[in-house]
Amino acid sequence: MALQKFIFCNWHDHVKLEFRWDIETATLSTRHKIYKEIRDEYKMYLAVTIINIFAAFVNFVLENFTNVHILSDIIFVEKILTGYQRTKIIIKFILSLAHFCAILTTISQFLAMKYAAGTMKIQVHLLIDYLKRIKKCSEDLEIRAHLEICSIHHIFIAGYHRGVMEVSAVPILLLPYGAILAALGCVLYIYYSNSFLTSLGTSLFSIFVGLMIIESSRSGQDVQDAFEDFYCEMTKVAWWSWSERNKKSLLLMMTRCQRSAVYGALTIEINKSLLILITKTVYQVFLVIQQLLK
């Protein structure tokens, strides 16, 4: 409910929530599938929140009651690279960007994006469930009415998708770059730190950033898979016995589905491919910096 209020208050001019179908209108198997996905999402919300609070608490305790500074990695780099001025400047710049991007990628925006992706996925599941019932339609007018309902709801979902992409373009664009820089900074700090408490605090921050990236990629992939499932379901419909008007309606809906399947901004798509790219980039850059420090 809190996430719904956040989206409604901040994205009201772009995102409309009135189009949503009730989950209870679906068949029993679809309802069970949707409720299971909702339970899994709530578990992940809880895990991310607990890790965030615990990391903040550990950071507060160590910063105020000990001599350990968890996020003072820039000072740490200055101490260990006294004779490597150029390398020190490069790493300090990378870590400064990592801190800046980590601040911009806030937990509220992350959860709001996940809520929006979950809403789209659920509505597409309901649309697929409703489309399957077209097999029971035999009359031409009955099929036309069924397709019109599907088409109207798909237009609302596509509009919701477009609105979410407009208001979340900046966080989506910052996500891969902020993730790479933040993860790289944490890996460097843990690798060259001799303090267990410092490594513990930075590891918690790394886990938190990693969870955000993994869950964002998974949510984007789920949205893309949901639209692809809807497209595949349309190809299974026995359309060859329909009238020309109904065939054109189905073809138009299939074309719109292909255009609205990507969850991302500009050329960046939030899916599992992005997660693999971030992981490979962090590993490769870390190897390069490790060679520079030798």
pLDDT, tens only, 259-272 = 656 776 666 777 88
Q: What's the pLDDT tens digit per position in 149-168? A: 888 888 888 888 877 777 77
**Beta carbons of 248 and 210 less than 8 angstroms apart:** no
Question: Where do the structural domains in the chain lie, given as residue ranges?
Answer: 24-292
Q: What is the pLDDT of residue 74?
A: 58
Task: Quote the pLDDT of residue 203.
Answer: 66
Compute the distance between CA of residue 214 and CA of residue 228 in angstroms, rounded to an integer.
Answer: 21
Residue among 97, 113, 95 at smallest CA distance from 10: 113
| CA neighbor of 206 nearest in space, from 282, 96, 92, 276 | 282
Look at residue 268 and give its three-state secondary structure. Answer: strand
pLDDT at 10 over 50: no
Which pLDDT score, from 0 to 100, does residue 11 have? 44
